[in-house]
Homo-oligomer: A and B are copies of this chain.
Amino acid sequence: MKSVKQIKIDKNLTVNELVLRFESSGVLGAGKIGKAANIFHDMIKDKECKIFIGAAGPLVPGGLREILIDILESDIVDVFVTTGATLTHDLGEALGFEHLQGHHMMDDKELNKQGYDRVYDSLMQNKIYEAIEKLIKDNFEIFKGRLTIKEFLWKLGSVVKSRSIIKTCYEKKIPLFCPGIADSGIGLMVWSQLVQGKTIDVQVFDDLKEIIDIAWNKQKNGVLYIGGGLPKNYIQQSLQFSKGASYGIQITTDREEPGGSSGAPLREGISWGKLEPDAKFVDVICDATIALPLIWSSVKDKL
């Protein structure tokens, strides 16, 4: 057995060096961060491995938008699955709105009057909706024909002018899945067109063929789950009847004991066939806004 190497802090320590020391410590939260950086690096280096990233939670209001774009621009991602909320926040910033620093004790009635929507201690301007509505309304004719959700989102990405998650996925042709897109500001702004008599044809089930095809055709799959929710579960089920993941990382603060998918440890996936029995994997129990910058900073230095 390896000994727990006590973590030392020198002056001007780089993040990568600290994460390597976390890995040498080997245990508890720090050890998991170290192990996650190692596994992420491994799956990127493994040329036979397709990488699926699931991203849920308030990642854009939480300050992770640039990191997500950076990862997407790095030509390592084969599938990106996220929530409608993340794409809505991303679109908001692409349209010129910033999220704001608030506090979780703020008076929500007052915020409501002033047009701010609170996400714990970050704030979104309610005006984002108007800007997204205008974008969708002005470009509604591009959503012609029978579309998958991925096709719908790529088309939407094609009319976004600024650097963003959605535009990067479109330009890099990264399959962008969002099974819960109706449950989002983007969904609501499509709805506002529908109630004015317009129609659109976006199919619920058709994306499944593409994501499962990607999972099926390769020798190895690797997963990085930033949060749980639909993004994680949608990737998990695409692996279930194709090939389980050989590399796995999940970052969550949800508990295991209530049995929900978001808090389920990756190991559970072995019973389902979503994770290979001999996979390298780690569950990082940590706020993603702390864990992801550490992991990505370390991996970026190593690449």
Contacts and interface: CB of A to CB of B under 8 A. Distances in A.
A268 B58 contact: no
Contact of A4 (B25, B61, B261): B61
Interface stretch (A42-50, A154-162, A182-190): A182-190
Given A257-B29, A259-B58, A179 B188 contact: no
Given A27-B120, A29-B287, A297-B18, A255 B255 contact: yes
Nearest to A93: B6
B301 A12 contact: yes
A87 to B, nearest CB: 14
A207 interface: yes
B293 A112 contact: no
Given A27-B101, A208-B194, A289-B29, A112 B277 contact: yes
Contacts of A185: 237
B293 A22 contact: yes
A104 B258 CA distance: 11
Contacts of A118: 268, 271-272
Interface string A195-230: 100001111111111001000000000000001011
Chain A contact residues: helix, strand, loop or mixed: mixed
A61 B26 CA distance: 10
Copies, count: 4
A247 interface: no
Contacts of A184: 237
Contacts of A40: none
A285 interface: yes
A4 B101 contact: yes
Contact of A209 (B4, B109, B194, B207): B194
A233 to B, nearest CB: 5
Interface of A: 1-9, 11-16, 18, 21-22, 25-31, 33, 56-58, 61-67, 70, 85, 93, 98-102, 104-106, 108-109, 111-112, 116-123, 149, 152, 179-185, 187-188, 190-191, 194-195, 200-209, 212, 227, 229-230, 233-234, 237, 240-241, 253-262, 264, 267-273, 277, 285-291, 293-294, 296-297, 300-301
10 contacts: A9-B296, A13-B297, A27-B63, A28-B258, A58-B258, A112-B270, A119-B264, A184-B237, A253-B255, A262-B262
